[in-house]
A = this chain, B = another copy of it.
Amino acid sequence: MENFQICTPTNLVFGKGTQHQIGELIKPYGKKVLLHYGGGSVKKIGLYDDTVNSLKKAGVDFVELGGVVPNPRLSLVQEGIKLCKAEGVDFILAIGGGSAIDSAKAIAAGMCYDGDVWDLFEGIAPLTKALPMATVLTIPAAGSEMSNSAVVSNEEKGRKYGIGGDCIRPVVSIVNPEYFTTLPKNQIANGVADILSHMFERYFTHTKNCDVTDRMLEAVIKSVMKYALVVINDPSNYEAWAEVGLGGIIAHNNWLGIGRQQDWASHNMEHELSAYNDIAHGAGLAVVTPAWMKYVYKENIGMFVQFAVNVMGVSHSHREPEALVQEGIARLEEFFGKMGLAQTLGELNIPESAFEDMAKKATGAYFGQERGIGSFKKLMWQDVVEIYKLCR
């Protein structure tokens, strides 16, 4: 086990009806709040009204900015920062899914930085400070409700980059699985793929002596997969949603990733898919992840045998470990299929002609700064092209 540091100060309030507490919960943190959200869904499910009522009841002054789209845009973040400065906002409240939350995190960070907020994403300036922010979650997927990271798309430059730092962990997050019961099937499936990917990125490691986190990862991955198949067929099942929702938080607050090297190549490869064709992050991950597994498993076959046996429940001869691994990966593909997720880049309308550019962008080679991605196997752009080819 490697040395580690973790600090997860988010006050997490989970369960039925908890959205009514938002006003009282955030009142101590700010004088004027930006209420940030996407489009109609928060209004349709009643969350917008519940939030506004709770803020008013608690006497919390606020302004609002809607319009967040999936793969949230830098332009709206910049607009939000301008608005917050003009209005003297000192606290950001996101209601919605990972896009609204990440957009809110970027605004919170940008409010404490003098230059253009995109500098923080490019690494030109370090992320050291942000306004406090809170969330009311409507989609279990990104894990952003308790994570220390955010991803934003720069639509002008065609880049999708992330920032990370404990200053952007929400101070309060409300997770009410009742909201999940109204999600359409494609959003359910994409969300589950994202949750699982957050755990796969942590699970596949060369770091030895990580049994506590190995076993916890297996526990949560299996539980999420079990209940994902329940909710995709019966989205009204609150108890199943509670399992998926709790799993989604734990998948990405990093309690399952401490003391071990993490990978994140699949996330990097996927960000280029989203940047190329504006597809849902989870949809891209479900295609890229099994291909990544096929390309890298030989780097540490024991790790992948463990995945096949402990996670995917494969149980036949250990005399042929490669067969176990292949069966494990096949079962994961079968699971994604049952969730209704695309299995190929073709289905996502990403042609082979785009592979080289995307691979070069993912690894930095496109910008003359190839750094490689991942740690389980360090991938250069040619490796990424091969993995994209495995997704055809």
Contact = CB atoms under 8 A, between A and B. Distances in A.
Contact of A219 (B209, B219, B224): B219
Interface string A219-243: 1101110110000000000011011
A316 interface: no
A17 B2 CA distance: 12
Nearest to A169: B9
Nearest to A12: B6
Contacts of A18: 3
A1 B246 CA distance: 10
Contacts of A259: 14-15, 242, 246
A13 interface: yes
A148 to B, nearest CB: 13
A250 interface: yes
Most chain B CB within 10 A, of A4, A10, A226, is at A4
Contacts of A208: 239
A321 to B, nearest CB: 23
Nearest to A18: B3
B220 A215 contact: yes
A219 B7 CA distance: 22
A255 interface: yes
Contacts of A124: none
Contacts of A247: 212
Interface in A111-144: none
Interface string A194-232: 000000000000001101110110111011101100000
Among A7, A14, A211, A223, max chain B CB count under 10 A is at A211
A317 interface: no
Contacts of A227: 211
Nearest to A218: B219
B211 A215 contact: no
B212 A246 contact: yes
6 contacts: A1-B15, A3-B17, A4-B15, A209-B242, A212-B250, A213-B246
